[in-house]
Amino acid sequence: MATIKVSNQTQLLSALKTASGGDTILLANGSYGDITLKNQFSSAVTIQAENPLGATFAKITLNGASNLAFDGLKLQYSFAASSSSQISLTNSTSNSILNFRDVNGLVVDNVTATGGQYSILLNSIQNFTVTNSTFGNVSTDVMRITGNSYNGLVENNVLSDTVALSGTHPDLIQFFASNGITPHDIIIRGNLLYDNPSTGEVMAQGIFVSDPAAGGYKNILIEDNLINVNSPNSIYINGGQQNVVVRHNTLIPGVGDGGAIIRLVDKAGMNNSGTIIEGNVAKMILDETKASVVTDNYFYGRNADLPSLFHGTNGTSWENFVPVAGSAIDFGTGLGAQDRLAHLLLEHFGTATPIQQAEAPAVVTPAGPTSVYHLDTSYELSGTKSGVVKLADNKAMDIDTGSIHVNFNADTVAGSRGIISKGAIGYDDDFSVWIKDGKLILCAENDLGQTITLSKTGIKANTDYDVLITFDEQKVKLWVNGSQVGEAAFDLDLSGNSEYLVLGGVNGQSTRGTTDKVASFFDGTISNLSVYDSVLTPTEFATLEALRHSHDLATPITY
């Protein structure tokens, strides 16, 4: 098993001609262009970036290839494989589609694919896993599973948004038959599905299982998913004829109490007689066929008191789906996605149940700094309007004193490039951070029409930066990479700010309560947003974040 180092496309293609199963081709940082491969090996040959995401491809296309593994790559456009076998893509990013057709043996793990028309297409794919990945911000469907696809697992992914135009039919996960064959023997487990209602002209459906061929759907398991969409087709089953099980999912309504519905329909002359609906938490079920087994669910009905059931009321983060202690869906009831939530709580907070909430339900404020809001997520943004992340207001950020931290790495610093913004037109307690021709700018304003601006010059492309903003009744401070670069006497108070939180753009000219005029689009990566309710130095912030990630509950953390 040899390791072959290459630094350009010519060397890569040459190495593939001489490589044997088990070899690794190590890619130096650089651009490798657009390649099409038909290589076949007896065991996996790995094409790996020497530095994660340091090797960039325009497109990678596989046709009739076998036993090729791709690791740590950055794709500007797409990754496609057809008529191939034993293909893997891991630890990589793509600004457009992952397109797979007629592939036997596929692994997609820890991949981010956002932008374009679709995120990932699985058409007639056998023996596949799609795990721990982030998909979304597309104009049609986020994921499709179609045709002769079977023996598949889609687990622990985030499918986050569509920006569809009127006349389209967007879904976060869509199943349908193709060439007379219906997908079968597939598990959809532990995923977070969220559609931001402020983006696109059409609301996305959730898990949409429809248009079966003769015989209908067989051996489909949908469990432990967290779903927040506005569509009444939040989980939609058409033709569940044999061992189609929908169990232990948690659904939260979208804006205006829309969605959070499990719907069973007869659109193909099939009655869903092989479908079981059990242990779910949802607003309601629309059972149009009356032939399925529906048992032990909790349906909370229209216009429910959601804060009495859930920690939050939207799907921007999994923490919002955690049940309230003592509620009808609390841990121990067996209702909803409790296995997935317990795993996430253990991973992030070091406990399989929300101990802090149980000990101090909602009236005791923990002593010391509290992490009120965080997104342990990396967003790869394209420099276009469609790439902007728009998060509805979360009341956890209603603080009058605090620290806001975010990381960024810009592909370009020319022009105006928004990083984080919570504001709109007119005067209120708002703030925005952006880059203007290599200068980092923080602008804050209050409801009296007073504004302050802090800045740092010398911001470079393709360089990691961390930004910390601290504020209270007396001062606003700006820190970059651990050093204070400015401060101003000013009272910034976010306790009454109900505007969208925007990543990758500036929302200062939008109508209040909307994102209709977001501008200054960021090109690059924004990650690790974290907000605390106290003024912290960079050292204090880093210590608290280390404790949070190491599950040390001695530091008060709310979620």
DSSP state for residue 155 in the 8-state scheme: E
Of 91, 200, 85, which is closest to residue 136 (Cα–Cα)? 200
Q: Is 325 exposed, middle or buried (0-12, 13-18, 19+ CB in 10 A)?
A: middle
Distance (Å) of CA 493 to CA 79, 397, 400, 473, 483: 45, 10, 4, 7, 23
Q: How far apart are CA 529 and CA 234, in angstroms?
A: 28
pLDDT score of 554: 32
Q: Which residue positions in the chain have pLDDT lower than 50?
A: 355-367, 551-559
pLDDT score of 353: 61
Token pair of 532 as six digits: 């605390």
Backbone φ and ψ of 95, nearest 5°: -90, 5
**Whole-angstrom Cα Rg for the chain:** 24
pLDDT score of 300: 95
Q: How far apart are CA 158 and CA 168, in angstroms?
A: 22
Q: Of all helices (H) and strands (E), which one includes residue 359?
A: helix 355-359
Q: How far apart are CA 181 and CA 450, in angstroms?
A: 64
Does residue 559 sit in helix, strand or coil? coil
Other residues' Cβ atoms within 10 Å of the Cβ of residue 317? 24
pLDDT score of 362: 35
pLDDT score of 556: 33
Does residue 174 sit in helix, strand or coil? strand
pLDDT score of 169: 75
Residue tagged 């470079």 (tokens): 460
What is the DSSP secondary-structure string of 186-206? EEEES-EEE--TTSSSSPPEE
Please work out, in degrees rounded to the nearest 5, the angle formed at the alpha carbon of residue 225 by the alpha carbons of 118 and 213: 60
What is the tens place of the pLDDT at every residue in 4-46?
Answer: 999 999 999 999 999 999 999 999 999 999 999 999 999 999 9
Q: How far apart are CA 242 and CA 465, in angstroms?
A: 53
Report the predicted TM-score, pTM, of the whole model to 2 decimal places.
0.67
Of 17, 53, 62, 123, which is closest to residue 409 (Cα–Cα)? 53
pLDDT score of 367: 46
What is the DSSP secondary-structure string of 204-242? PEEEEE----TT-EEEEEEES-EEE-SSS-SEEEE-EEE
Q: Of all helices (H) and strands (E), which one includes residue 548?
A: helix 538-549
Other residues' Cβ atoms within 10 Å of the Cβ of residue 526? 23
Q: Of all helices (H) and strands (E), which one includes residue 527?
A: strand 523-532
